[in-house]
């Protein structure tokens, strides 16, 4: 799995999820339930991960949508 982005922005997470869904790219949203532990403060960023095989396509889609600045380095997660 590769991490695409990490953010506290719920709108960004929703938009990225919609873009990936529209392209039939399976993805995982991690740390979404951490708000229970942090008291819903939004301190712990949520992460979106995709399968290694879909990483390049997902990054291209997000870049074309003007979200390249949100992408994490292409490192193994």
Number of domains observed in the structure of the chain: 1
Is residue 75 situated within a structural domain? Answer: no
**CATH at residue 49:** 3.30.70.790
- Beta partners for 46? 7
Walking along the chain (77 residues) 10 residues at a time, the average pLDDT comes out as: 92 96 96 65 83 97 96 71
Whether 76 is in a domain gets the answer: no
On whether residue 52 sits in a domain, the answer given is yes
| pLDDT score at 17 | 97
Q: CA nearest 19: which of 77, 68, 72, 52?
A: 68
DSSP string, 12-70: HHHHHHHHHHHTT--EEEESGGGHHHHTS---SPEEEEE-GGGHHHHHHHHHHTT-GGG
Domain presence at residue 46: yes
What DSSP state is assigned to residue 1? Answer: -
Kindly report the pTM of this predicted structure. 0.82
**pLDDT at position 41:** 60
**What pLDDT is stored for residue 73 in this prediction?**
85
Domain encompassing residue 61: 2-70
């Amino acid at each position: 799995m590769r991490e695409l982005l990490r953010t506290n922005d719920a709108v960004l997470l929703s938009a990225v999820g919609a873009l990936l869904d529209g392209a039939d790219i399976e993805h995982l949203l991690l740390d979404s339930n951490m708000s229970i532990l942090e008291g819903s403060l939004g301190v712990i960023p949520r992460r979106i991960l995709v399968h290694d095989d879909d990483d390049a396509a997902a990054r291209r889609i997000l870049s074309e949508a003007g979200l390249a600045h949100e992408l994490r380095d292409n490192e193994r997660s």
